[in-house]
């Protein structure tokens, strides 16, 4: 069977809410300043560590960690998320 050109969809993609959530998140990330957006995308999508991101962007590791923290804080604000809930879930899901 030739699968080239065939779309593979996930069950969650069929839900309008998940499409809307994904679009809202995409828009919120795009609103971030490049200084915050770049390290966040490198970590979340690229899977790079803070140290690796620092090397890629030629920044101090502490600068990268601060920018990642601020990027997440801005996204929490955008979505009105409770920081305590987000921190607790991060501790349980590293």
Give 31-56 pLDDT, tens digit per residue: 999 999 999 999 999 999 999 999 99
DSSP state of 15: S
Condensed to tens digits (0 to 9), the pLDDT of residues 12-37 reads: 555 667 777 888 888 899 999 999 99
Residue 53 placed within a domain: yes
Q: Considering the domain boundaries, does residue 51 fall inside one?
A: yes
Identify the pLDDT of residue 10: 52
pLDDT of residue 89 exceeding 80, the answer is no
Inter-residue contact 57 to 39 (CB < 8 Å): yes
Q: Are 40 and 25 in contact (CB under 8 A)?
A: no
pTM: 0.66
Q: Give tens-digit pLDDT for 58-87.
A: 999 999 999 999 999 999 998 887 655 545
- Specify the number of domains making up the chain: 1
90 pLDDT above the threshold of 60: no
In a domain, 24, yes or no: no
Measured from the Cβ of residue 81, the count of other Cβ atoms closer than 10 Å reads 14
CATH number of domain containing 76: 1.10.10.10
Asked, for residue 47, whether it belongs to a domain, the answer is yes
Question: Quick one: pLDDT at residue 80?
Answer: 81
- CA distance linking residue 13 with residue 6, whole number of Å: 16
- Structural domain span for residue 61: 32-81
* Residue 42 is assigned to a structural domain of this protein: yes
| Helix ranges (DSSP H) in 1-94 | 16-31, 34-44, 50-57, 61-78, 83-92
The pLDDT value given to residue 84 = 57
């Amino acid at each position: 069977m030739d699968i080239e050109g065939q779309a593979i969809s996930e069950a969650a993609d069929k839900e309008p809410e998940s499409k809307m959530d994904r679009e809202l998140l995409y828009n919120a990330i795009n609103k971030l300043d490049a200084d915050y957006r770049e390290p966040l995308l490198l970590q979340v999508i690229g899977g790079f560590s803070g140290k690796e991101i620092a090397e890629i962007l030629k920044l101090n590791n502490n600068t990268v960690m601060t920018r990642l923290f601020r990027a997440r804080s801005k996204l929490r604000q955008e979505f009105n998320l409770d920081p305590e809930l987000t921190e607790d879930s991060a501790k349980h899901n590293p």
